[in-house]
Amino acid sequence: MNRLHAEGLPERAIRDRARRGRAAVFPPDDSYGRAVIGADVTSTATVDPLDAARLVPPVFMPRRLEKLIDLAREPLFGDVDLRTRVGGFASALPVYVSAFGSTQVGTELALAAGRQAGRLGIPLVVGENVAPTLGYRADSSLLSRLEAYAAELPEGVGGVVVQQSTEDADAEVWNQVHSDPAAAPLLDSGRLGFELKLGQGAKPGLGGMTMVGEDDADRLSDRYDVSGLDPRGGPRLRSSSPGTFTEEILAQQIRFMRNNFPRVRVWVKLPPGRDVGHAARVAWSAGAHAVTVDGAEGGSGWAPSVFLDRVGLPLGECLRRIGAPDGCLLASGRMWEAGRAVVALALGARAVGLGRAALVAVDEDPEHGLVNLVGALELEARLLISALGKYSPDALGGEDVLLPGSAPATAAEPSTVP
């Protein structure tokens, strides 16, 4: 029986920590691998500018006049062309599917998501630690995801990007994929990419974390930090290194990727760090085909709750610090509808990544859920872009967005048709 009431303090959280100790730093054990973590988290320290931004159509629309003359009729939202290039790949839409990783919820739904992404003709990222955790050729493994995607992919669009963390590098994941005959059709058609992961939005500065049983903990203790969390026993936390990066290390790694895998597209995934703009420019200067920025809203199969609440920049602030991109910029973090997506595109992103939303969609409908979700986003995007008097994502710019506390920029739109 609780005799003391702690007014003004989060009493339930304090009592939970007093009872479960270090285990209370993480979400409940029974949610591990079966939940998408952080979807409902709003930081108590910062607010994402994207959530408060508004799209602002102009009164005069010279680009619409250009389109009218080109079509010989009044243009409609269906005339918006959403085709683009995403990190060196042709894509039917300015959308890609983000990495799911190796947690149970990700692996169970990965093949369905891969098949539907292929059907849509949009790029697919295969998450980190899949091969070290599940095995290279096991069901729902890295290779199975590639094969499921490629089986549905139309000619000339899409691409698979294999993500590698420090842990994956030890398993030589890129070398395995590059030399595997099953990946040859993607490689030969220029639709294979490798992504170097420096971090993720949900836990910038931390490496991979998984919960393991006692037997696995003993087996892994010589390679990883394995520690107990709950004083009452139960699963243990297995942690891997996030890797160490400096400007020169990142540039050298990208040059290594370009030299050793010349037919592979090179992507770099950045966490929402305070120097994210500088890091993006270093990556582009070294030859990266794309830089992915994962805002603090980015999901995770497993992350300490305090990181979800307190660590990392929101995606809108990341885009502000990057400014005008020097190359292909991709943005992820709480993307599921076109309002947030079109704002991100107007602020410099070439495409947006669906992570948690893609998982939820295929969980709802393994055959059509992701296709339906993207179909809704596609319709919204056409409506919004057309309302701005523009007819492709590449035409969007900062003048189309009103951010909190600022007036929209004025664009030097052409006043006459050439």
In a domain, 24, yes or no: no
User: Nearest 5°: phi and psi at 238?
Assistant: -105, 120
Percent of the chain with pLDDT over 70: 81
Residue 416 has pLDDT above 50, yes or no: no
Mean pLDDT of 316-343: 95
Q: Convert the pLDDT of each residue in 94-150 to its tens digit.
A: 999 998 865 655 567 889 999 999 999 999 999 767 766 666 665 557 888 899 999
Residue 289 has pLDDT above 50, yes or no: yes
In a domain, 23, yes or no: no
pLDDT level of residue 43 (50, 70, 90 thresholds): very low
Q: Convert the pLDDT of each residue in 137-189 to its tens digit.
A: 655 578 888 999 999 999 999 999 999 887 777 768 899 899 999 899 999 99
pLDDT level of residue 236 (50, 70, 90 thresholds): confident
* 118-122, 180-184, 344-348, 382-386, range with the lowest pLDDT: 180-184
Where is pLDDT greater, at 57 or 301? 57
In a domain, 309, yes or no: yes
* Calpha distance 204→307 (Å, rounded): 8
What is residue 105's predicted lDDT score, i.e. its pLDDT?
58
Exposure of 45 by Cβ count < 10 A (0-12 exposed, 13-18 middle, 19+ buried)? exposed
- The residue type at 2: N
CA neighbor of 345 nearest in space, from 42, 50, 46 = 50
Q: Which domain holds residue 175?
A: 49-207+242-402
In a domain, 374, yes or no: yes
What totals of helices (H) and strands (E) does the chain contain, helices first? 17, 15
Residue 284 has pLDDT above 50, yes or no: yes
* Calpha distance 74→53 (Å, rounded): 29
Mean pLDDT of 300-318: 83
Distances in whole angstroms, Cα of residue 135 to Cα of each of 19, 130, 140, 141, 224: 37, 7, 9, 6, 17
Q: Convert the pLDDT of each residue in 49-93 to its tens digit.
A: 898 999 999 999 999 999 999 999 999 999 999 999 999 999 999
- The residue type at 39: A
pLDDT level of residue 296 (50, 70, 90 thresholds): confident
What is residue 15's predicted lDDT score, i.e. its pLDDT?
66
What is residue 283's predicted lDDT score, i.e. its pLDDT?
98
Residue 3 has pLDDT above 80, yes or no: no
Q: Give the chain's domain count.
A: 1
User: Nearest 5°: phi and psi at 374?
Assistant: -70, -35
Residue 24 has pLDDT above 90, yes or no: no
Highest mean pLDDT among 44-53, 216-225, 238-247: 238-247
In a domain, 26, yes or no: no
Where is pLDDT greater, at 252 or 169? 252
pLDDT level of residue 415 (50, 70, 90 thresholds): very low
What is residue 417's predicted lDDT score, i.e. its pLDDT?
40
In a domain, 75, yes or no: yes
pLDDT level of residue 311 (50, 70, 90 thresholds): confident
What is residue 210's predicted lDDT score, i.e. its pLDDT?
73
Output the pTM of the full model: 0.87
In a domain, 30, yes or no: no
Rg (CA), the chain: 22
Distance of CA 386 to the CA centre of its chain: 26
**CATH number of the domain to which 298 belongs:** 3.20.20.70
- In the predicted model, what is the mean pLDDT of the chain? 85
In a domain, 142, yes or no: yes
